[in-house]
Structure 1
Amino acid sequence: MIEKILNLRSQGLSQTEVARELEVERTFISRLESLGEVHKGGRIAIVGFPIANVEEIREMALNEGVEFVLLMSEKERWSFIKRDGLDIFNQIMEILIRLKEYDLVIFLGSDMRIDLADTLLEGKVVGIELGTSPITEDKYIDPSILKNIIKNFRK
């Protein structure tokens, strides 16, 4: 059972998704991880918008073992928010629940969004400010800055 949990979690499934698939309580998986039997090392997520070099950052993050990457350009962000309000709300709630499972969330965004993310995720956020809100154009992110944050976190 532990090997199945480990395998599914290493594929990026959330605790809730693994619990559903294996028909166990999510709290069981959480307790195992807190004991260090399943999850070793810090889990990292990266969220950011509006990003000019989305693919470059995504590729670097995945190469560095980042498990959750959600990056959007300004165009993608506007496409996302043009959807049905209830659908947007539900997806944002799912993302927030999932992000709470990570040890570190690197958040790339406006001053206002970073503060909000840090509050919602209870201080697990390292913010990289792209400017003051509202930001209306894509911003280039130097991948080496993110790489250094990831490497320092894993030391």
Structure 2
Amino acid sequence: MAVKLVSIRQIVPDEIDVFRSIRLEALRCEPASFASRFEDWQFLSDEEWRQRLQDPVFVAFSSNEPVGIMRLVRLRPSKMAHRAKLVSVYVRKSERGKGIASSLLRAVSDHATRLGVLQIELAVNAENSAALRFYKRQGFIEVGRIPGGVLDAAREIDDVIMIRRL
């Protein structure tokens, strides 16, 4: 069996179709993993997609097809610009366990370091044990929780707040 090579790169604002396809797939396939719903994104205009690409978006490609994504949102106030949030994290189920998430995180972290970011932060659903284990393996530590941080079908689910110093 041939091994598919995976490449990772930051996409540019003109690649809204790539961004749209992998982001909507993530929201459709793993709805419990995100604060946003598929319906929040499905009817965005091209300009709204392009605006979201103002923050760095890294995509993993296998056979030129997007299979994973991570987005970095740097905090804007000057006294907080050393911090960034990791959002929109997703790897297609069939591609999990192949190191793609680790490679995406490495690319995002390297980019963040070049920008002068000293700390990456994230919020993860407390019920997403696979994601929690991944982030802990990658050096993130839990620094708090937001009780009922997400309301999903009338269920309140805690958000686990994690950070990693770069």
Mark yes or no: TM-score above 0.5. Answer: no
Structure with more helix by fraction: 1
- TM-score with structure 2 length normalisation? 0.27
Higher RCO (Cα < 8 Å, 6 or more apart): 1
